[in-house]
Amino acid sequence: MSGTGEGPRVLHVLTGCTAAGKTEWALRWAEANCAEIISCDSLLFYRGMDIGTAKPSPSERARVRHHLIDIREASQPMNAAVYAQMARAAAEEIRSRGRPVLVVGGSGFYLRSFFAAVADGLEVPREIRARVDGMLESGGLPALVAELLRLNPAGLQGLDQANPRRVANALGRCLASGKTLAELSAEFARAEPAFAGWQVRLARLDRAGPDLEARIVARVDAMLALGLVDEVRRLLGAGLRSNPSAARAIGYRETIDVLEGRAPVAGLAAAIARDTRALVRKQRTWFRTQLPPHAVHDAARLADEAGLFLG
């Protein structure tokens, strides 16, 4: 294979629920096909979030070149628009070297960026966010809804009016753009996906219930043995709370509850395993309903030949 990047743009995507074994199979496929990996895990972006994310180890990353891992401090939030831009740049770079591109991860919102537009690029200025926050503080949610209805006389496009975060976000976007929600929605529908022009080949790994359950329990036990509690304590000192999506991640939120005295340490493993099972149920539903048609493979029954499970 030449290093010119000529030929069709092909993107191999391997997804699946937590603990299905994506890392192991991705490494095998990447090694067999001289590929490089782009992470699509919403927590692997963050430096220091290693144990609780089951981040590929330095030795695993030495086997195959990885992209978009350890690119943010844990205190710095990430968003899908920035991710899509970075993933596209990484994919173009890999392709320029004549290597196949393998995307690996199960974070739905980021995964969507490979199939559809995920953001319209509208930035809400800080002063508008502050104005909306002030309205919420002084008048409560009804004040925000009333202002949003004034700006959108034709309706709110099915917006959940009981959700303060979504209402505040919608109002901020209307104020920043001077457009209605219907106009913003129509513009978004016309937006071009970051990977327009690429051929996306998607496969999903899954495992039978007992097998996955055993892997979840083993994974949680290993995290605690490797020092998850100390990792979370360090991250809290480094500003983890300023990144709510990271602080609420499974493994981290339960450990924070223990460290701050809201839950007993004796129940930590059970709490993380319980919440991991709940996440798996949500992930499977999202994969079935939100992804384009794709092959599903039982990771425990895959043939030893790594080339069989991705096109």
Answer yes or no: do 96 and 213 share one domain.
Answer: yes
> Is 50 exceeded by the pLDDT of residue 4?
no
Answer yes or no: do 107 and 253 share one domain.
Answer: yes
Percent of the chain whose predicted confidence (pLDDT) is above 70: 95
Closest of 107, 101, 114, 132 to residue 12, by C-alpha:
101
Answer yes or no: do 258 and 229 share one domain.
Answer: yes
Q: Is residue 5 part of a domain?
A: no
Answer yes or no: do 212 and 102 share one domain.
Answer: yes
Answer yes or no: do 18 and 98 share one domain.
Answer: yes
Segments forming the whole domain that contains residue 43: 10-117+194-308
Mean pLDDT for all residues in the chain:
92
- Quote the CA–CA distance of 252 and 32 in Å, as a whole number: 34
- Quote the CA–CA distance of 274 and 30 in Å, as a whole number: 32
Mean pLDDT of 112-119: 88
Percent of the chain whose predicted confidence (pLDDT) is above 90: 83
What pLDDT sits at residue 276? 98
Radius of gyration of the chain (CA): 21
Q: Which is it for strands 46-47 and 10-16: parallel, antiparallel or unpaired?
A: unpaired
Residues facing 101 on adjacent strands: 11, 36
Answer yes or no: do 155 and 272 share one domain.
Answer: no
Answer yes or no: do 206 and 161 share one domain.
Answer: no
CA–chain centroid gap for 145, Å, is 29
Answer yes or no: do 161 and 231 share one domain.
Answer: no
Residue by residue, DSSP assigns 30-67 as: HHHHT-EEEE--TTTTEET--TTTTPPPHHHHHHS-EE
Q: How many domains does the chain have?
A: 2
Mean pLDDT of 182-202: 90
Answer yes or no: do 151 and 111 share one domain.
Answer: no
Mean pLDDT of 36-63: 97
Answer yes or no: do 201 and 296 share one domain.
Answer: yes
> Is 80 exceeded by the pLDDT of residue 277?
yes
Rounded to two decimals, the pTM is 0.84
Q: Is residue 131 part of a domain?
A: yes
> What's the CATH number where 218 sits?
3.40.50.300
Tell me the one-letter amino acid at 173. Answer: R
Answer yes or no: do 38 and 107 share one domain.
Answer: yes
Write the burial class of residue 282 (CB in 10 Å: 0-12 exposed, 13-18 middle, 19+ buried).
exposed
